[in-house]
Amino acid sequence: MIWPASLLLLAGGALGAFLLRRSWLRRDGSALGMIAGGWVVLLGLLLAAAFLVGPVKGLALGLVMEGIGALAVVWLGRVRRKAARLREMEAAPEPLDEPGRLWRGVLRTLLAGPLGMTAAMAVAFCVTVYLPGDPRTRIVIGGLLMPVLWGLAMTWTLADRRILRATAVLVATSVVGFGLAHLGASA
């Protein structure tokens, strides 16, 4: 079952990406049918895999195989060029250059690391404590939320130039979150 399903999803991923690429080549958004067709193939096959292979197994298999199919289309559409300097229109946005100061670096590391983790835990455990339902499910939801929230906190604190604002928000979130979680757990 897995082999035929994998091959079908691989082909479907390639077909969906091929249709999307055809519309992308026109560059004016005029091929709405192809855009819709591409997404219908990609999402429809995901649903079919979830139904036929298994709700989680099929979805996981679909995301993996369709990704490879789509990447195959990208690879087949590659262009090879002669060595040239980067043209202005091709240049991607540049990262913001900030004057490096040691204290800012240390503070940012603390914010993105330990403080971000504490704030993420505080929010995730609030969810664990206050969410209705079986404690095992609540613990797993909280556990899954924690790395996501920490990752978001990392992105934000490293991007936000107002470093004191980020510090205040993370400290407040940690104190309030853990306080509320403790109250809820003791109740």
CB 120 within 8 A of CB 170: no
Residue with the two structure tokens 């109740």:
187
Query: Minimum distance between the CB of residue 44 and other proteins, rounded to whole angstroms?
Result: 16
How far apart, in whole angstroms, are the C-alpha atoms of residue 121 and residue 115?
10
Work out whether 129 is an interface residue with other proteins (CB under 8 A). Answer: yes
Residue of the chain from 36, 40, 43, 71 that contacts other proteins (CB under 8 A): 71
How far apart, in whole angstroms, are the C-alpha atoms of residue 75 and residue 113?
37
Number of residues that bind other proteins (CB under 8 A): 84
Work out whether 185 is an interface residue with other proteins (CB under 8 A). Answer: yes
Q: What angle do CA 176, 155, 95 make, to 5 degrees?
A: 145
Q: Which is nearer to other proteins, 128 or 173 (CB)?
A: 128
Binding-site string for other proteins from residue 31 to residue 60, where x marks contact by CB under 8 A and - marks none: ----------------------xxxxxx-x
Q: How many CB atoms lie under 10 A from the CB of residue 42?
A: 21
Work out whether 67 is an interface residue with other proteins (CB under 8 A). Answer: yes
DSSP H or E segment with residue 81: none
3-state SS assignment for residue 12: helix
Residue of the chain from 63, 106, 168, 172 that contacts other proteins (CB under 8 A): 63
Binding-site string for other proteins from residue 80 to residue 119, where x marks contact by CB under 8 A and - marks none: xxxxxxx---x-xxxxxxx---------x---xx------
